[in-house]
Structure 1
Amino acid sequence: MVRAVTAAALRSPSSADDAASRHIDASDGTPEWRWAQCRRLQALPEMAAGALVPEGGRVVVVAPHPDDEILAAGGLLSLAAALGRPAMLVAVTDGTASHPGSTRWPAARLQAERPQESLAALTALGVQPQALIRLGLPDGGLREAEDDLARQLQPLLYPSDVVLTTWRLDGHPDHEATGRATVQAAAAAGARWLEAAVWAWHWAQPGDERLPWNRAFRLPLPAAVVQRKQAAMAAFASQIQPDPSTGAAPVLRQSTLARAGRPFEVFFDAAP
């Protein structure tokens, strides 16, 4: 059943709408052991994959960069595939800006390899998407391309879809722009939309009031699915290895990878 969406729901939530408060620094951020002790996180209501994506529905994941689809919804994609639900993945960028100044990972190499990493990750999850669409929009420039992204997404969506994207206040400008554009397109198509935090787990603290707990729920993941998700993350060599050409640490921190081992995924339902 598609929830009615008001005009207010299409705007980014206004609470703590201060980009400085959502700063993604160079540290590992909030460690996973602290999130594991968060009572508010553990007390979230749960929903099974079959109820989240009913028979006849399709999962559509709109990812700002290759790897966001796994971090945000790898477990959901794997469970939906096991249920026979079709899936479509929309890769908004090819992730070519992840290694500035690198000679090991120049933009041309990233453009060629990051999509292949995504394919390997989906294979590890047991997912064969019905459609895999790459829009090739500029990595790091999605705020300027937001209206164009919404226009490109809307004709791809059906009212029966469950559309998953990154949270509109996730802290990364590309994630937030993708979230806004996807919500706009999904609402126009009459589809159900969900948001997932990726970088918010880095800058937020357990019980943080900046997170929309009132519309959050958990999708339980069996141990076998957690293992598949972790194997999928291992496919992103460009993101999980240090860069000897610049001395940069891996793009994905150990704390980020640790969250791929959670026995659940958290989604934010459409704003009322």
Structure 2
Amino acid sequence: MVTFDSTLPGTSAEAWEADGRLARLPALSLDGIESLVVVAAHPDDEALGAGGLIAECAARGIRVLVVTVTDGAASHPSSPSTPAHDLAARRAEEARTALAELAPDAGILLLAHPDGSTLELRETIAADLARAIPATGPSTLLVAPWSGDGHRDHRIVGELCAELAATNRLRFAGYPIWLWHWAEPEMEDVPWDSFVSLPLEPAAAGAKHRAIAAHVSQVEPLSESPGDEALLHPRFLANFERRFEVFVQEPTTLGADYFDAMYARRDDPWGFESRWYERRKRAITLAALPEERYTNALEIGCSIGVLTADLAERCDALLSTDVSSAAIESAKQRLAASPHVRFETGDVASSFPDGRFDLIVLSEVGYYFDAVGLDALVDAVAEHLAEGGTLLACHWRHPVADYPLDGDEVHVVLAARLGLERVSRHLEKDFVLDVFNSDGRSVAERTGLV
């Protein structure tokens, strides 16, 4: 585990800014979030690591709850002026004052476990967090200290919250605090591939600044006596004056709850029917199919069935699947007059449909899987694709914080793992479309023109 001395200045905010990568991070998505739970290992973690997020969510009408695990009484173990019990009371009041700056209507729960006791009280803390945090699925965003932050209490609280998020299907992100102090941008310990950022409106940035200042016992000396020095060095605090916050989101396959929540809010979350971008992309997709008709086709991730309806006109039999039951119900209604189209609800990475297909369509779905899940899916596609069959894959290329992979990564895996020849490619700034086949023949070759 990383060790560091918090009394030293540490890495400067200018060094992180000069690296350049912080300015190019994908965005932390708040789409579909109805409640935010911020867990802090100590009073002040919530303001430093997620104060802007709290303020942004409050401004958007998202419910906010802050849970602080320890009492923070060990911040000044050698203080000649302030006994531990007095410091604990003071820090609790500072936490309430800080939260009032960020989100006046937010709830706060101070568990008040002894500072530094998280390892010994791990099971008790886990039970307390399970009781405090509602199991409301992916409409709740749970954030906690990043487990790689180099502080034992941060590691344990972060691990417990990640486990709870996985159990209850909550969206989860970790916030680094001490990383900015002990690490340098080029170090391997910095999780650049998992970083996402949340831009802060001026009001949220200002609220965060005031909230950090409200933790007076940490940013100012308790007295002029040795042992009462300010814990947080000004050079360290400069890392929290950015106009954005950085979180760590480890990629995981998105499940049915995530998509059902999307469809519960909007009938057509991605604008398949309303957006010219989507209508044009469908036309390109259909034009890219090398055969005029297919005998037995499979569409993975059919959503509400808009592309399904177009595919149905060129297939004798079509099986369309989606992990979301809400999406499947909508697609069934759309294709009610097409008896040759069947629908199944399920995760194709773990339970691939039986049969062999001369066409498999993987459109805007591959990046929802993590690397292990995508490998399993690609292997299943290769196994169930009929001799001479075609795989068409089409994916958005821009990064999305919620998605474990991006479109380009999906197509790299397809090309490397399928063992098929790529017979055509359409590449734009926004999306990539590839057609794979085992025989490699062009449309002109298939139709006898050459």
TM-score (norm 1): 0.86
Out of 24, 33, 50, the position equivalent to 2:14 is 33
Question: Which residue of structure 1 lines up, in the alignment, with residue 97 of structure 2?
Answer: 120
| Residue 199 (structure 2) aligns with | 220
Q: CA deviation at 1:242?
A: 2.0
Contact 2:6 2:231 in 1 (8 A): no
Aligned to 1:144: 120
Query: What is the deviation of 1:245?
Result: 3.1
Residue equivalent to 2:53:
76
1:250 aligned to which of 210, 221, 230: 230
Give the Cα separation in 2 of the matches to 1:89 and 1:98.
Answer: 20
2:98–2:211 Cα contact (<8 Å) kept: yes
Structure 1 unmatched runs, 5+:
1-18
User: 2:30: which partner in 1?
Assistant: 52
Residue in 2 that maps onto 1:191: 170
**Structure 2 counterpart of 1:84, which letter?**
G
Task: Report whether the alignment pairs 1:263 with 2:243.
Answer: yes
Residues 165, 88 of structure 1: alpha-carbon distance in 2 compared, 3 angstrom cutoff? same
Shift of residue 23, structure 1, vs aligned partner: 2.4
Percent identical: 37
Among residues 125, 129, 133, which one is paired with 1:153 in the alignment? 129
CA positional deviation for 1:249? 2.8
Q: 8 Å contact 2:74–2:116 — kept in the other structure?
A: yes
Q: Is the Cα contact below 8 Å between 2:39 and 2:143 reproduced in 1?
A: yes
| Residue in 1 that maps onto 2:111 | 135
Are the equivalent residues in 1 in contact too, given 2:64–2:103 (CA < 8 A)? no
Give the drift of 1:77.
0.3
Partners of 1:81 and 1:187 lie apart in 2 by 25
Q: Which deviations, in whole Å up to 9, do the C-alpha atoms of 1:225-272 show, x marking residues without a partner?
A: 212211111111111112423344311111232122101000111343
Identify which of 62, 70, 91 aligns with 1:93. Answer: 70
The answer as to whether partners of 1:40 and 1:207 remain within 8 angstroms in 2 is no
Q: Quick check: 1:62–1:69 contact (8 Å CA) kept in 2?
A: yes
Aligned to 1:42: 23
2:157 maps to which of 174, 178, 189: 178
Q: Deviations over 1:204-236 (max 9, x none)?
A: 102322122111111001223212211111111
Gaps of 5+ in 2: 253-450
Q: Distance in 1 between matches of 2:168 and 2:221?
A: 41
Cα RMSD after superposing both structures: 1.6
Query: Does 31-40 or 163-172 show the bigger shift?
Result: 31-40
Specify the structure having the higher radius of gyration (Cα): 2
Q: Secondary structure, in 3 states, of the residue corresponding to 1:37?
A: helix
The DSSP-based 3-state class of the residue aligned with 1:92 is: strand
Higher strand proportion, which one? Answer: 2
- Correspondence for 2:209: 230
* Residue of structure 2 equivalent to 1:15: none
Provide closer, same or farther for how the CA distance between residues 124 and 144 of structure 1 changes in structure 2, counting only shifts above 3 A. same
d(CA) in 2 for partners of 1:163 and 1:263?
Answer: 21
Which consecutive segments of 4 or more residues in structure 1 shift more than 3 A?
Answer: none
Relative CO higher for 1 or 2, CA cutoff 8 Å, sep ≥ 6? 1
8 Å contact from structure 2 (residues 142, 165) kept in 1: yes
- Structure 1 SS opposite 2:94: helix
| SS of residue matched to 2:62 | coil
Per the alignment, residue 88 of structure 2 pairs with 111
Distance 1:249 1:27, change over 3 A: same
2:83 alignment partner AA: P
Partners of 1:154 and 1:264 lie apart in 2 by: 30
Amino acid across the alignment from 2:27: E
Q: 2:10, 2:200 → 1: CA distance?
A: 24
The answer to whether the aligner puts 1:64 opposite 2:64 as a matched pair is: no
State which drifts further: 251-260 or 63-72: 251-260
Deviations 1:89-139 (A, max 9, x none): 11101111111121322111112111111111112224321x311112120
